[in-house]
Amino acid sequence: MERLADHRILITGAASGIARATTLRLLAEGAHVVAADITADRLAETRALAGKDGTAGRLALVEVDIADETSANAAVASAVKTLGGLDALVNAAAIMRGAHTHECSLEVWNRVIGVNLTGTFLMTRAALPALLDSDKGVVVNFSSTAAFYAHPFMAAYSASKGGIFSFTHSIAQEYSKQGLRAVNVVPGGISSNITDNIGELIPADTDWDLFLKLSPALPGGIPGPEKVAGVVAMLVSEDGSFISGSEIRVDGGAHQ
């Protein structure tokens, strides 16, 4: 199925995890994609996987530090030039640093907010003119179940994702009359770089009983990132054209 055959898409965080899986899914559905990340060697791995799928001819790469204004502006400009315009921006890049909140340094707090929330703002701000020139412009932002439900030891991460939730609603309303859509994807209990390495990202003395409510209710355990990739593909396609200013939670019923 090539429902994205005429779509030009920029996605951040594409060197790994959910964003990499989403990049491959968008390409599989016919999109022309610019994959952005701060890690050049892992971006090359994403290209290699696309090569195995026979879709690398529609993939371009760009290095970006989304928390840096100059870098974000340059990456968006490069993507728009490469693609000849822009129909969708997928802000999937994120970091997580855990700590007991009373021990969380200002440096860690600012870094998480800077990448996750400010980075989403910078990329969106730079992309908006091109998206508004499209007749199907859409911003897909990645919030998290951590924005709505208690995720211990993740105060900075939760705050950043709550900010993304509100930011998405704001731009969805602000640009609605110009035809722009903005949607939050809310993953939870999905295999990703963050969830796979959670033990290294939170305190060593973590009380794991506090996480019991975060497991998927559906059988099969923690699924792969492809579960989220399919949702993003729908949202940027015509199938998602009446969805804006809202959320789609992908967590296997963990937060019913």
- The reported pLDDT for the residue numbered 83 is 98
- Is the pTM higher than 0.85? The answer reads yes
- The reported pLDDT for the residue numbered 196 is 57
Torsions phi, psi for 138 (to 5 deg): -150, 140
Residues that are catalytic = 157
Query: In a structure prediction context, what are the per-residue pLDDT tens digits for the chain, which is 256 residues long?
Result: 689 999 999 999 999 999 999 999 999 999 999 999 999 999 999 999 999 999 999 999 999 999 999 999 999 999 999 999 999 999 999 999 989 999 999 999 999 999 999 999 999 999 999 999 999 999 999 999 888 887 888 899 999 999 999 999 999 999 999 999 999 999 987 666 665 555 566 777 777 676 666 677 677 777 789 999 999 999 999 999 999 999 999 888 877 7
- The reported pLDDT for the residue numbered 146 is 84
- The reported pLDDT for the residue numbered 129 is 98
Burial of 30 (0-12, 13-18, 19+ CB in 10 A): middle
Question: Token pair for residue 137?
Answer: 């412009």
- The reported pLDDT for the residue numbered 223 is 74
- The set of residues, in sequence order, having a beta carbon less than 8 Å from that of 118 and lying 6+ positions away, is 67
Question: Which ranges of the chain does DSSP label H, i.e. alpha helix?
Answer: 17-28, 40-53, 69-83, 106-113, 119-133, 155-174, 193-196, 198-201, 226-236
Report CA torsion sign: 174, 176, 178, 183: positive
Domains defined along the chain, listed by start: 8-250 (3.40.50.720)
Alpha carbons 152 and 71: distance in angstroms, whole number: 32
